[in-house]
Structure 1
Amino acid sequence: MERRRPAVTTTLLKCPLCGTTNRIPAAAAGHPRCGKCRRDLPWIVEAGDADFAAVAERSPVPALVDFWAAWCGPCRMVSPVLDKLAHERAGRVKLVKVDVDKSPELSRRFDVQAIPTMLVIANGKVVARQAGAPPAAALRSWLDGALAARPEGSKQ
């Protein structure tokens, strides 16, 4: 029986510097850069039960994983802050959004009991966890601390 690999999705993103539209894959060996000006681009993708390992756990840069749901008010408050952090840290972090309603296996695996829940995964290991909707400054500080404390042998 042939095993199929999950399809890797792509999104289109305009470069904030030059305006060129770039195709951004959900999983890649490096990190996205503008095809024209070579600026690092924010890496914001969605993942689910089928492709999470390829998208987040094997990411060449630390993955900031956001467990959320469309009906969750605090999730809608945190989402723009996470997007901004991904833009500010382009080339250094990948924002991976996981809809808990569509990905129950991941929710169970990572013991997500409240949303939003954010994880930082580096080299396939969870290095930080944050539940709830803290203010933007607290999220920024938490993420920066997690990125600074990556395990030995981490990439980049």
Structure 2
Amino acid sequence: MTAPVADDVVRDVVREAIRSVWKQCPDLIEHGVHERTVVAHIAAALNVRLEAWPGLWRADVEYNRFHDRGLEAIGTKYLRGAAGDRRNVYPNLIVHDPRGGGPDHNLLVLEAKKGAPTDIDREPDYRKLQGFLQQFDYHQAAFLEYDGTGGRPRIEWLVPFISHPDPTTPASEEL
């Protein structure tokens, strides 16, 4: 069994990885490269840091190895059927131990949004994140938003069974 990792440790590592991408890959950030590419670089930076942790922790992008019923529940219950297509339900990034599921194996789920996200952009991602927290037992979730022109990223942290943040306001923590 994988040893649980404290939430603040996970958050610190995620912050470090995001900051390193902003510092080391300014071309991606300043030129509006697609969020999938930016998230892939964040996952790579996370994986370097996760190697020092005990266990088999890994950051994966657009991970699609979930049970169909769980994805359907997220698509219908949390997204009100608006994103029932499973291709839209996969998270941008997860940090997990791929040897199992549940709270001992699922640390973090992250969604990213490039541009100037509005409440219409944030609301479904917050709902999706809450679904992954509850349906797949993730310890926490993060919503990353950034302008795609070189500005500092902002992140909003979500925890299980707590109502999601107000989508009409930008993510609360500037990195």
Q: Structures share a fold, TM > 0.5?
A: no
Q: Which has the higher helix share?
A: 2
Q: What is the TM-score normalised by the length of structure 1?
A: 0.32
Q: What is the TM-score normalised by the length of structure 2?
A: 0.30
